[in-house]
Amino acid sequence: MKISVKWEKDEVKEPSLCTYFINSNETLSISQCGRRFKVNTEPLGLNITDVESNDAGVYKCVMTKLIPPPTAENSSTLMLKVSALTLQLMNSTNSSCVELLCSLKGLRPQQVNFTWTRATQLLYHHESSSMRSTLTLCKPHWTDGETLTCQASYSNNHTLYSKSITLPCDSGSCNIGEGSWLTIIIIISTCAGLLLLILLGVAFFKCKERGAANGSIVYSNKIYENFTFSSATINTTSSSQNAQPGAGSNIRSTTRSNQQIIRQTQREECIYEN
């Protein structure tokens, strides 16, 4: 005996989600299955991993007996509900106000507690029903580009669901902060570059002056020398004649010459700097 099994979804006609065969010894031979779909042997069925909200819907299982002939086809359907919290921005006639709709889908209507937050701040401007909540904020109670969060606590199984949304920006106002930071960075970089150029210029001129000073001769030592010069010699002669009278004798004159040599010395002093 050989049976063909094919799983389909009402909204997806082709290709099928998963196709496989059941042999007479109850072994499976999988022909083709999607990435998130796996065949369960006991009990026989189909597993979906990483379930998303759009997986909810009507699924159909078609079983066709191939061997032995004649062929026979049997099908069954089931409804898959996926619980999911959706958060969307609604159209508002007032440009200064925003309206958000938070709804819990895929569950039986039960009492749901909705909570709206901005970061850690609770927001109370909302209206809630059994499975949905609406938040309306007007300026200045909201700003462009901020993130708001809706949390829903389902009373039946005490499961907490959470969804966040970022508010739109008007006329690119959200990019003002980024532009300001970019401008500040450019100004700081420019100032740092100018300061570096100034420091390099000062260092260059200092090195240039130092090199010029090393290339010149500086006299810092003094040398004292004394020179002695001899002046002209002056000769002085003095003569004295003494007469002594005597009787009957000749007058003898005695002359004494005294020669006196006077030497005049001139001293010169020179100072050299080195």
Annotate the chain with three-state secondary structure. Answer: CEEEEEEEECCECCCCCEEEEECCCCCEEEEEECCCEEEECCCCEEEECCCCHHHCEEEEEEEEEEECCCCEEEEEEEEECCCEEEEEEECCCCCCEEEEEEEEECCCCCCEEEEEEECCEEECCEEECCCEEEEEEECCCCCCCCEEEEEEEECCCCEEEEEEEECCCCCCCCHHHHHHHHHHHHHHHHHHHHHHHHHHHHHHHHHHHHHHHHHCCCCCCEEEEEEEEEEEEEEEEEEEEECCCCCCCCCCCEEEEEEEEEEEEEEEEEEEEC
- Residue 216's pLDDT band, with cuts at 50, 70 and 90, is low
Q: 154 versus 248: which is more confidently predicted?
A: 154
CA atoms of 75 and 11, how far apart (whole Å): 17
pLDDT of residue 184: 84
Burial of 66 per CB tally in 10 Å (0-12, 13-18, 19+) = middle
Pick the residue with more confidence: 197 or 42?
A: 197
Dihedral sign computed on CA atoms, order 108, 109, 115, 116: positive
CATH class of 84-166: mainly beta
Please state which of the ranges 72-81, 190-199, 204-213 shows the lowest mean pLDDT.
204-213
Average pLDDT, the chain: 76
Is residue 259 scored above 80 in pLDDT? no
pLDDT top residue among 74 and 231: 74
CATH for 2-80 is 2.60.40.10
Predicted confidence (pLDDT) per residue in 77-119, tens digit: 998 888 889 999 998 888 889 999 999 888 888 788 999 999 8
Contact (CB, 8 A) for 135 and 99: yes
Other Cβ atoms less than 10 A from the Cβ of 148: the count is 22
Q: What's residue 120's pLDDT?
A: 86
> Rounded to two decimals, what is the model's pTM?
0.47
Answer yes or no: are the C-beta atoms of 33 and 39 closer than 8 Å. Answer: yes
Contact 255, 239 (CB under 8 A): yes
Domain spans of the chain, in order of start: 2-80, 84-166
> Torsions phi, psi of 168, nearest 5?
-70, 165
Confidence of residue 269 (pLDDT cuts 50, 70, 90): low
Q: What is the pLDDT of residues 11-60, one digit of tens each?
A: 766 677 888 888 877 777 877 888 888 888 777 788 999 888 788 889 99
pLDDT greater than 60 at residue 192: yes
